[in-house]
Amino acid sequence: MIQVTLPDGSSRSYESPQTVAQIAHSIAPSLAKAAIAATVRSNEGIESTVDTSYLIDRDVSLSIITPKDDIGLDIIRHSTAHLLAHAVKELFPDAQVTIGPVINNGFYYDFSYKRPFTPDDLEKIEKRMNELAKQDIAVVREEWDRDDAVEFFKKEGELYKAEIISSIPQGETISLYKQGSFIDLCRGPHVPSTGKLKVFKLMKVAGAYWRGDSNNEMLQRIYGTAWSSKEDQAHYLNMLEEADKRDHRKLGKELDLFHFQDEAPGLIFWHPKGWTIWQQVEQFMRKVYIENGYQEIKAPQILDLSLWKKTGHWDNYKENMFTTQSENREYGLKPMNCPGHVQIFNSTLHSYRELPIRYGEFGQCHRNEPSGSLHGMMRVRGFTQDDGHIFCTEDQLLEECSAFTALLQKVYKQFGFDKVLYKIATRPEKRIGADEIWDKAEEALMESLRSSGCEFEISPGEGAFYGPKIEYTLKDAIGRHWQCGTIQVDFSMPARLGAEYVDADDTRKTPVMLHRAILGSLERFIGMLIENHAGAMPPWLSPEQVVVCPISEAFNDYALDVQSKLNEKFRVKVDLRNEKITKKIRENSMQKIPYILVVGEKERSTSSVAVRARGNVDLGVLTVDEFIARLQNEIDNKLDVVVPSV
C-alpha cells in the first residue's frame, strides 16, 4: 500500500503506483483539470518538482501545483518558452535553438538565425504559438543517453544544443521534452499539454552573445510574457505602459535634469535642476547621519592594489575594477568604500568603551560594468553610495542590526515608501571566512529581523563574498520592486586588515564590521524617485518649488517682490516672458512645478497670490504669508502637494 500525505495533513492510500494526474483526479476532478505539476517530498526529506505524468511508487508527501501558485506560473512561463521555440522551428526551420529560461514576469529564448527577426516575424510566431496551444499537444518527458542525445541534435543541425549536452557530466540524467514534432533538452517540469498555455505575448527582440561572451556569435533573443489569467497580463501590460511614461531617462531630458553621452559611458552629466534634487537627498541623509551617531568621513578614490588583494576584492571582484598606474605602482579605483573606512578605524587604537563606532561617507565608487548592462541611472559605472560602516563587538551586533532596520524604515517613509520587503542573502559558493563565522553572521541577521517583527525570505547563496546580508526592497507607485538598502555582517575583512580594539581585559580583539547603506547608490535612488513620482517630485525635493507668473508686464515688479519674499525659504523662479498667462501656466505645468502663483491687479492690491497646485488644481487666492505657511508645512513634513479632496 502506498501512502500519500497531502498539504492539509490528510493522507490517501493506493494499492498500486499512481501518476500525479491520477492522484489529483482521485482527490477532485477539478483539481486534476487545473494541475500542471506537483511537489513531491520523500520520507528522507528529498524534495523535487515533477510533471503530472510522474509515477508515485512509494510513500511521499504531495502538493499539487496549479497556475495560481507562484511556482506554477514559472512552469507556465518555461513551457511557453518551449512553445515559442516550437513555433520558431516550424516557421523558420533553419533557426537553431539555444536556451530559453524564465525571467521576471516572463521568459526569453535565444536563437541563431541567418537574418534579424522583424516585428512582422514576431506577429507570425505569436500567431503560430496560439495555434499550437489550441491543438492541446501532449508534452512528454523522455530520458536519453547523453551520447545518443548529442548525436541526435547534431543530425538535426542543432549544434548549440549538442554543445550544451556535451558539457553535461557523463552519468547525469538527460531529460528531453517532446511536443509534436518539437523536442528540446530540459530538466522540467512542464505543463502536461500545450492547451494549458492560454495567456502570453511576445514583447521584443534583442541581441545576446552565446554564453554571454562577446567573442561568440551574437544570437537573437526573443522576449515574451505569460500569465495564468488575461486580467493579470492586462495589468502587467498597463504597468509597462505606465513605466514607459515614467522612464527617468525620458523625464530627465524633458525636465532638464541630466544627460548621458558616448564620451562618458555609464556616467552622468548633472544639470542644475537635477543636481538640486541630488543636494536635497544628500543633505537629508547627512542629517540622518548626525542624528543617529554617525561620524562623516572621506576616504581616497584610489588605493594601492596590495590593499585590494588583502581584502579579497582583487581575487573576487577584479573583473569589475578600474585600475591605473603611477611611478611603477598599481592602484585600484575603489568599487567600494569599506577598505578605506578600515584604514581610518586603524589610524587610532580604540577602546571597547568607544564601540560601536559608526562611520558614514557619501563615497564615490567606480565599477567596470559591461556596456550592455548599463541602463540610465539604474546601472552606471560611476556612482555615490550613502555608505556606512559600523565597528562593534559581537555582543552589540544584534542591537546594531535591529536599530539599523528601524532607522531605514523611518527614512524610507520620509521618501514616501511604506512597504518594505526583507530578504536575507546567505553564503555564496565563492567566499572567504570559515563556516562557523558564516553561521554566526547569518543567525545574527535573522534574529535582528525576528526581534524587529519583520517577516523575511531567504535568498540562498546570494550574499557578498565576505558576509551575509539583509536586502531591503521597496515597492513603488506602480507596483515594481526596487532593492535599495542593505546591511552586511563581516567577520573577515577587519581581521584581514588588522583592525583591533582593546577589550575590558586589556587584550586586543577584532571588531565585527557592519557594511550598511540605506539608499544604496544615490544615482539609482534618485532615478527610482523620478519614476515613482513620474517626475512630479514632492515640494521638498522639487528643484523648482514655485513659479510666479504675472498676467502682464504691468505686474512684473510685484511678481519680483513676491519672488524676493519667497526666496528666503524656497526655490522660486519668476516667469517674466511677454506671453499670455495661459501659455505660461501650461508650459510651467509641463515642468511639474508644485505651485504656480498668478499675480495681477487684485493680487497686488491685497498682497496676495492666486495659487494653482500641480495638476491644474485652483486653490484660490491666498495672502503671501498664508501660502508661505502652507508650503513650509509640506516641506517640513515631507508631504506631497496637498490638495482638497473632491
- 533 catalytic? Reply is no
**Dist CA 68 CA 369 (whole Å):** 37
Among candidate residues 128, 334, 338, 533, the one labeled active-site is: 338
Write out the three cell numbers for 185.
Answer: 533538452
Under 8 Å CB-to-CB from 122, ≥6 apart: which residues? Answer: 202, 204, 205, 222
Annotated binding site for Zn(2+): 338, 389, 515
Looking only at the bridges linking them, the beta strands covering 294-296 and 302-304 are unpaired
DSSP character for 554? Answer: G
* Closest of 628, 544, 534 to residue 587, by C-alpha: 544
Exposure on the CB side of residue 349, measured as CA atoms within 13 A: 6
Among candidate residues 82, 248, 515, 584, the one labeled active-site is: 515
Among candidate residues 86, 161, 389, 614, the one labeled active-site is: 389
- How many separate helices (H) and strands (E) can be counted in the chain? 20, 36
Under 8 Å CB-to-CB from 636, ≥6 apart: which residues? Answer: none
Among candidate residues 221, 334, 358, 469, the one labeled active-site is: 469
Positive or negative torsion for Cα 517, 522, 526, 528: negative
Among candidate residues 110, 121, 184, 387, the one labeled active-site is: 387
3-state class (DSSP) for residue 470: strand
- 385 catalytic? Reply is yes
- 190 catalytic? Reply is no
**Dist CA 573 CA 554 (whole Å):** 18
Annotated binding site: 338, 389, 515
- 367 catalytic? Reply is yes
Burial class (CB in 10 A: 0-12, 13-18, 19+), 363: buried
Positive or negative torsion for Cα 10, 16, 19, 25: negative
**Dist CA 378 CA 460 (whole Å):** 25
Write out the three cell numbers for 571.
Answer: 526655490
3-state class (DSSP) for residue 529: helix
Sheet holding 329-333, edge to edge: 302-304, 329-333, 322-326
- 387 catalytic? Reply is yes
3-state class (DSSP) for residue 81: helix
- 618 catalytic? Reply is no
Give the max Cα distance, the chain: 97
Residue carrying the nine cell digits 581575487: 315
Among candidate residues 77, 89, 128, 367, the one labeled active-site is: 367
- 295 catalytic? Reply is no
| Cα dist from 468 to 340, 437, 464, whole Å | 21, 10, 6
Write out the three cell numbers for 45.
Answer: 526529506
Write out the three cell numbers for 41.
Answer: 517530498
**Dist CA 333 CA 300 (whole Å):** 9
Buried b (16+ CB within 10 A) or exposed e, 577-613: eeeebeebbeebeebbbbbbbbbbeebbeeebbbbbb
Q: Which residue numbers are catalytic?
A: 338, 367, 385, 387, 389, 469, 515
